[in-house]
Amino acid sequence: MKSDIEIALDAKLEPIQKVAQKVGIEEEELDLYGRYKAKITDALWERIKDRPDGKLILVTAINPTPAGEGKTTTTVGLGQAMDHLGKKAIIALREPSLGPCFGLKGGAAGGGYAQVVPMDELNLHFTGDFHAITSANNLLAAMLDNHIQQGNSLRIDPKQIVWKRCVDMNDRVLRNITVGLGRKADGVTREDHFIITVASEIMAVLCLADSIRDLKERLGKIIVAYTYESEPVTAKDLNAVGAMTALLKDALRPNLVQTLEHTPALVHGGPFANIAHGCNSIRATKTALKLADYTITEAGFGADLGAEKFMDIKCRMGNLKPDAIVLVATIRALKYNGGVPVKDLAVENVDALKKGIVNLEKHIENVAQFGVPCVVTLNQFVSDTQAELDFVESFCKEHGCEFALSQVWEKGGEGGIELAQKVVDTIEQKESHFHCLYEDSCSLTEKMEMIAKKIYGAKEVILEPAARQQVERIESLGFGSLPVCMAKNQYSLSDDKSVLGRPKDFPIHIRDVYVSAGAGFVVAITGTIMTMPGLPKVPAAEQVDVDDEGRITGLF
């Protein structure tokens, strides 16, 4: 079979204006970025904002493994399958980051015959949104250091600067750096840090803002440092908001592209779910809900991360209510959770499947805690045996979940018809009683404990002394009512990525806590999670090239 990029490059794309017509977007409501990409204008929202919402479907998954789960592939394939059923559907996804694209994980366009295209452009520069976010982030950093250099009238304590520079690349040597070396005119010497762009608070702000006015208000609230008296200093205090907004005004508008089968897709924003809140923009999702009868969106990594943050952060802030959740797993990934090495995953092993399925079991329980009907789907591989498939289907039915096989990677939308019909039936027959996991009135520590105990299965939460001090400081500043964004590794329910399956009675260690006042949540850093990843020993970038005709090769 062809590689993902070969399939994508051989695809016959429709002009984006024709794709837009499928969901009633008029040509004058598009700003074109070539033939196959466009940004939608604010005029579209003004025209459709009073329409009733369609149904919202969230696609999530078990904890990711080297065996692969295919969450984005399933999301795209489900959208294509809805078209096969004659349903008016649209997909709402995050934009890919260059970090994993050239690192280990790969891109975020789906795979096989369930992809968003143009895949190569989507995975690289796309419409420049990430560049705008990076620029706005680093403009704020430059203005902060310049203020200190030019007299420091705000009395900023250089040892209490919390704003970091960013770059959309995995570059571990930038995690901890020293700036301002050289002459006096070169700035104040201090320790500084870089994070990856998807972990920047500005990424979160962009994804949670619903208008230019809201964007400016959120940007102004960003805390960049504290004074010698430990009072917060904001981007508004530095008079940086206007210029940052100028850099972000186009990035705030959602992007329209298409799938291989020409299903419309709004792809906008891209925070990681392990170190950020892991959901596409509220603007894109709300727009999609007004345009189609079914909006299919996803949240990053497993349900313990992306889905929890989708519910407790995005839905809380955007007043959204999911009507159904699709939980993706594979036989291979479940056997990996049961202790089978990657090289042996193609061999039938029902005993290992029985051991590893506890990971799926926990995620089924997690989804149920939010009151949303769940459909489990197996992203089917050729090596899956009937005995293995039957076991998983029986397990799901015993746990009160609907079940469907998915073959969208191989067959595109046709391979997802069973899943799409099951999702439609579930929405029609089962009412969603969505609710968040915790109330705003809970303390920050209570919120962390509820997530750790109810979602991860932890026995206790251990706050290191520095983290406990930060919690006290954040609550004293009036931010105690904000939701919590847990930064945790994606591979395990615990904060130890080597512990697979369904660990129990483990502690969650929180080593740092800080407020993202502009985004409107508090971040808790667990274990050894990094906000600036590194490249693997053999990065994917080594395989990427461009042929004499300018076609990109080796990109998955």
Alpha carbon distance, N-terminus to C-terminus of the chain: 13
Q: What are the tokens at 305?
A: 């991360």
301 is a catalytic site residue: yes
- The candidate with the shortest Cα–Cα distance to 379, out of 356, 344, 408, 417, is 408
Q: How far apart are CA 399 and CA 376, in angstroms?
A: 11
Q: Strands 30-32 and 232-234: what pairing?
A: unpaired
Is 8 designated active site?
A: no
Among candidate residues 39, 105, 218, 447, the one labeled active-site is 105
Nearest to 490 by CA among 343, 333, 272: 272
Catalytic (active site) residue 45: no
Q: What CA–CA distance (Å, rounded) separates 53 from 102?
A: 38
b/e per residue 418-437 (b: at least 16 CB within 10 A)? ebbbbbbebbeeeebebeeb
Catalytic annotation, pick one of 60, 73, 197, 445 = 73
Asked if 286 is an active-site residue, the reply is no
- The upper half-sphere exposure of residue 210, i.e. CA atoms within 13 Å in the direction of its Cβ, equals 12
Chain CA centroid to CA 459, Å: 27
Which residue among 37, 55, 71, 283 is the active-site one?
Answer: 71
Q: Which of 126, 403, 409, 556 is catalytic?
A: 409
Angle at Cα 264 formed by Cα 84 and Cα 435, nearest 5°? Answer: 90
3-state helix, strand, coil in the chain (%, to 5): 40, 20, 40
DSSP bridge pairs for 117:
258
Catalytic choice (11, 114, 273, 307)? 273
The CA distance from 391 to 398, in Å, is: 11
* 105 flagged as catalytic: yes
- Is 71 a catalytic site residue? yes
Catalytic residue status for 409 = yes
Please give the structure tokens belonging to residue 130: 């990430």
Catalytic residue among 126, 272, 301, 403: 301
Contacts of 62 (CB under 8 A, 6+ apart): 69, 302, 303, 327, 328, 329, 333, 334, 337, 359, 360, 363
Catalytic residue among 37, 55, 94, 332: 94
Which entry of 272, 310, 381, 556 is annotated as an active-site residue? 381
Which residues are marked as active site? Answer: 71, 73, 94, 105, 273, 301, 381, 409
